[in-house]
Chains A and B, each alone.
Chain A
Amino acid sequence: MKNNKEHIQNLPNLGLGVGLRGEHFNHILEHRPKVDWFEIISENFMDSGGRPRYVLDQIAEQYPVVMHGVSMSIGSTDPLNFDYLKKLKQLAIDTKAKWISDHLCWTGINHINSHDLLPVPLNEESLAHISKRINTVQDFLEQPLVIENPSTYLTFQDSTIAEWDFLTYLTEETGCGLLLDVNNVYVSAFNNEFDPVEYIENIPHDRVVQMHLAGHQNQGDYIIDTHDGPVIDEVWKLFHLAWKRTGGTSALLEWDGNIPEFEVCHEEILKAKQFMDTLVFEEVKNDRKQENSRLVSNPIDFMVNPVSKEFEITYGDR
């Protein structure tokens, strides 16, 4: 655990990164953009023997890569899936991933996967349970895990610990690192009625390895973490606070719905520079509201290959 803590505290600040998405493969290979690093969705590549993996291998040779997972289900009561962990570990070796992250969540039980990041009751029992599982995973992976705060849409009656304290205890119990998703703090705070500033102030700043930024959709009574637009001012303010408290970490923009051109994604994360030391808003960006009952948190674009768009050669009758 001590080693994990030291490992986490010695991880480098990689700069400003972009999430690797299939829509941008060709652009990246052709233009080799000046991006500090890429984050990959682990599950998109761990079984891949096709073009996604082929592209990743080329990118990993030229850019630092970080792995971000959505299916470890660290909070679940199902047994840990060691086949999954074995593939995760191998992918980390192959890509020389700087670290491996996943979420404080469960995705299903009884071998079902909802493919959502479901919330965990935050209490002493779940803390002991998840700490034990993180330790098992870390022993298997032979490196500390980095845990992200998910966006949440409900609070359990059984929750007795604030999320920022829960994350603090997890880092103390396991030596794991934290991926602070600033947008998720904002979204969860709105939905569950807590103070996002209190959250940022009370996490263990020395354990934050990375930050996430993203856009969301405000539906009036609740906010959905849609990753489908620019970051709003209130989230940039939280980022500014988190940057000051942590002393600066690797930061990444997640853009998964209505994915624009690569340059647009890259420019959005580069805006982080103006919010690191000061708060300068060139134009006001407040919450966006979209009347759409099909809004999805954690959108699936980044988890399935749009294969029908991947044909290069199709021929007619011969």
Chain B
Amino acid sequence: MEIDKPVQIELDTIYGWMQSHVISRHPWDIQSLEKVVKPSSKLSAQQHLSIYRRSYFSRLRECMLVQFPALSYALGRDLFIQFTDIYLAQYPSQSYTLADLGQHFEHFLEENRPDKYQEQKEWWVDFMIQLANFEFQVNIKFDEIADENYHLVKDISIKDDHLNVLPICELYAHDFPISIFYKEAINDKSPEQPLPQKSYSALIRRNYRLGIFELQPLQYHFLKVLKETNSVKESLSRLCSEFDLDQNELMATWSIWKEAWIEEGFFIKK
């Protein structure tokens, strides 16, 4: 411990100084630079340090662009990068993994929405925030620890009480067609920014690969209850009562859903 004390202070000082110069968006205290960093025959102390500073911002901007490809498309690269730089200043990474870099971005956008003090909110801001949330969820679900050791149901004659949804089957209700926009953006189809419109979707992971499905409102509610109850019977019953549906018609509809979802690998065997 006797050795550590002065070391900590000395290293702390240098590290604190360098870190603030590398990650800060504000101008530097240039006077102090040559007291800490040696100039070389080719570069000044400031130029040496600038290499780290440029790399810091470039690296993390690129990372954010990878994590939010649809949002960066929607905002436009330049505006996205402007947001990113402010975000990095407000929420510098505190994780050992870059996978967490964008975890506060949705919250940051909400905090910094341009219509924050307006009574009438602008819908396009909500679109961007919902898109940010969805994109980060996609990142999380891709690499989340989940059971992949299951039997996918392939036989459409399977009894309903043997059905369960995949361990990763996330359901989304959005005020915009977020998942459609997302799919088109990542597939370079240049989607236009959509107008407000309720949308429902499911993000599944099957055999470690992701898939996104658009849902009808009833399908969304059915799957939501099914996830809660693990019971097709209970889910159909609740759907009937909550939406005042004819039971026979719903059973006919369910058989169509069931066949389609089994074909698409939604269900595992209980």
Q: Is B30 engaged at the interface, CB distance under 8 Å to the other chain?
A: no
Interface on chain B toward A: helix, strand, loop, or mixed SS?
Answer: helix
Report the nearest B residue to A153, measured CB to CB. Answer: B51
A157, B63: Cα distance in complex, Å: 32
In the complex, chain B residues whose CB is within 8 Å of the CB of A312: 209-211
Q: Is B252 engaged at the interface, CB distance under 8 Å to the other chain?
A: no
In the complex, chain B residues whose CB is within 8 Å of the CB of A297: 51, 55
Residue pair B63, A77 in contact (C-beta under 8 Å): no
Q: How many whole Å from B158's CB to the nearest CB in chain A?
A: 20
Q: Is B48 engaged at the interface, CB distance under 8 Å to the other chain?
A: yes
Q: Is A7 engaged at the interface, CB distance under 8 Å to the other chain?
A: no
Residue pair B96, A81 in contact (C-beta under 8 Å): yes
Report the nearest B residue to A221, measured CB to CB. Answer: B42
Residue pair B214, A222 in contact (C-beta under 8 Å): no
Residues of B at the A interface (CB closer than 8 Å) are 3-4, 6-8, 10-12, 14-16, 18-19, 22-23, 34-38, 40-43, 45, 47-49, 51-52, 54-56, 58-60, 62-63, 66-67, 69-70, 92-99, 101, 138-139, 142-146, 148, 183, 186, 205-206, 208-216, 219, 260, 264-265
Q: Is A94 engaged at the interface, CB distance under 8 Å to the other chain?
A: no
Residue pair B14, A158 in contact (C-beta under 8 Å): yes
In the complex, chain B residues whose CB is within 8 Å of the CB of A306: 66
Residue pair B213, A50 in contact (C-beta under 8 Å): no
Q: Is A191 engaged at the interface, CB distance under 8 Å to the other chain?
A: yes
Report the nearest A residue to B214, measured CB to CB. Answer: A317
A157, B13: Cα distance in complex, Å: 13
Question: Which of A8-16, A112-120, A233-241, A243-251 interfaces with chain B?
Answer: A112-120
Given the known inter-chain contacts A296-B55, A298-B59, A313-B209, please indicate yes or no for A112 contacting B48, CB distance below 8 A: no
Report the nearest B residue to A46, measured CB to CB. Answer: B97
With A51-B208, A153-B52 given, can you name 6 additional A-B contacts, CB distance below 8 Å?
A109-B15, A114-B56, A224-B51, A224-B55, A298-B55, A309-B186
In the complex, chain B residues whose CB is within 8 Å of the CB of A52: 143
Q: Is A61 engaged at the interface, CB distance under 8 Å to the other chain?
A: no
In the complex, chain A residues whose CB is within 8 Å of the CB of B45: 154
Q: Which of B51, B92, B97 contacts A43 (CB 8 A)?
A: B97
Interface string of A149-167 (1 = CB under 8 A from B): 0000111111100000000
Residue pair A310, B36 in contact (C-beta under 8 Å): no
Report the nearest B residue to A223, measured CB to CB. Answer: B51
A192, B8: Cα distance in complex, Å: 25
Report the nearest B residue to A302, measured CB to CB. Answer: B98
Residue pair A77, B209 in contact (C-beta under 8 Å): no
Q: How many whole Å from B110's CB to the nearest CB in chain A?
A: 22
In the complex, chain B residues whose CB is within 8 Å of the CB of A116: 22, 52, 55-56, 59
Residue pair B7, A115 in contact (C-beta under 8 Å): no
Q: How many whole Å from A312's CB to the nearest CB in chain B?
A: 4
In the complex, chain B residues whose CB is within 8 Å of the CB of A109: 12, 15-16, 19
In the complex, chain B residues whose CB is within 8 Å of the CB of A121: 11, 14
Residue pair B38, A156 in contact (C-beta under 8 Å): yes
Q: Which of A84, A111, A128, A156 contacts B94 (CB 8 A)?
A: A111
Q: Which of A126, A222, A294 contacts B51 (CB 8 A)?
A: A222
Residue pair A308, B186 in contact (C-beta under 8 Å): yes
A308, B67: Cα distance in complex, Å: 8
Q: Is A47 engaged at the interface, CB distance under 8 Å to the other chain?
A: yes
- 3 tightest Cβ-Cβ pairs between the two chains A and B: A49-B145, A312-B209, A313-B211
Residue pair B11, A125 in contact (C-beta under 8 Å): yes
Given the known inter-chain contacts A54-B208, A76-B15, A77-B12, please indicate yes or no for A49 contacting B144, CB distance below 8 A: yes
